[in-house]
Amino acid sequence: MRVAAKESIADVNRFRLIGKRLLAEQQQARRIQFLKIAGVWVILFGLVGIALFVLRVDFAYILEHRNFVLAGLWTTLEVSLVSIFFATILAFVGALGRLSTNAVAYGVSGFYISLIRGTPLLVQIFLIYSGLPQIGTRINAMGYPMVGNLLILDPVPAGILALSLNYGAYMTEIFRAGIQAIGFGQTEAARALGMSYWQTMRYVILPQAFRIVIPPIGNQFIAMQKDSSLVYIMGVWEITYRANRFARKDSKFIEMFILAAAIYWVLTIISEWLQGRLEQRIAQTQRRT
């Protein structure tokens, strides 16, 4: 018995050593792969730098005006954060409508999704920023200034409204899929316990659904940061608008828009890193539960 026990302990130790060796080999392989990819990136950056130098891009001009363009970063983040907040609310309400058996709720949500997803975001921005004030002016002329003035929006609120409506329509399907991913057996169990529909949604379905939809919402937020550049046409002083001012003033289009592209790129990389950290935290929480 003792000999068998010693052999079992030896086998366990042997398997542990093999496991550690395999883990070390995998880590080494990942490090080598990372270094290879980093080398490719360095070469590509070098080639791009050489091309820009040959094309005589004025890097001094970029450095001179970088702070002016960077100042638009806060407006970009403000518009994106507020828009994703309202888009999330619209998406949640739209998803409930899509899952509802009520014909009115289903019809309204379906019409909203079809209309917004079937028209370009730029057209929606023009309709909200230029079209709504036209309607508001006519309502004012009819003697209803309190109603008409609500439709005359400043550039930032108009941009937030357009982005919220657009992304809310696309995110509706994300929320609907997240809610439907929760097993129907949990809904039946909640009903068996005497919970109402809204209690079931609040305490059983939504806490689990939000864990599912958070990563896709993060992807939508990253995309929104770039789509927020479209609000520059309304005169919002975000990154693209500020870059365009000096690009037109001094005919330095390549310089200023390279700077704007670099800012958006870095912002996207940071956002993706934060999203990855958030997904890791969610995965750890799910493993604990």
Model confidence at 88, pLDDT cuts 50, 70, 90, reads: very high
**Spatial contact of 117 and 194, defined as CB atoms under 8 Å apart:** no
CA 160 distance to own-chain centroid: 14
Q: What is the mean pLDDT of the chain?
A: 86
pTM as predicted = 0.83
**What CA–CA distance (Å, rounded) separates 144 from 62?**
50
236-275 pLDDT, tens digit each:
889 999 999 988 888 889 889 999 999 999 999 999 898 8
1: confidence class by pLDDT, cuts 50, 70, 90 = low
Q: Which amino acid, 287?
A: R
State pLDDT tens for residues 93-117: 999 898 888 899 899 999 999 999 9
Separation between Cα atoms, residue 175 and residue 161, nearest integer Å: 20
pLDDT (0 to 100) of residue 163? 95
Where does the chain have alpha helices with state H?
2-54, 59-70, 73-99, 103-117, 121-126, 132-141, 145-148, 155-180, 184-192, 197-200, 206-227, 239-250, 253-288
Question: End-to-end distance of the chain based on CA atoms, in angstroms?
Answer: 40
More confident residue, 136 or 286: 136
Per-residue pLDDT at 108: 92
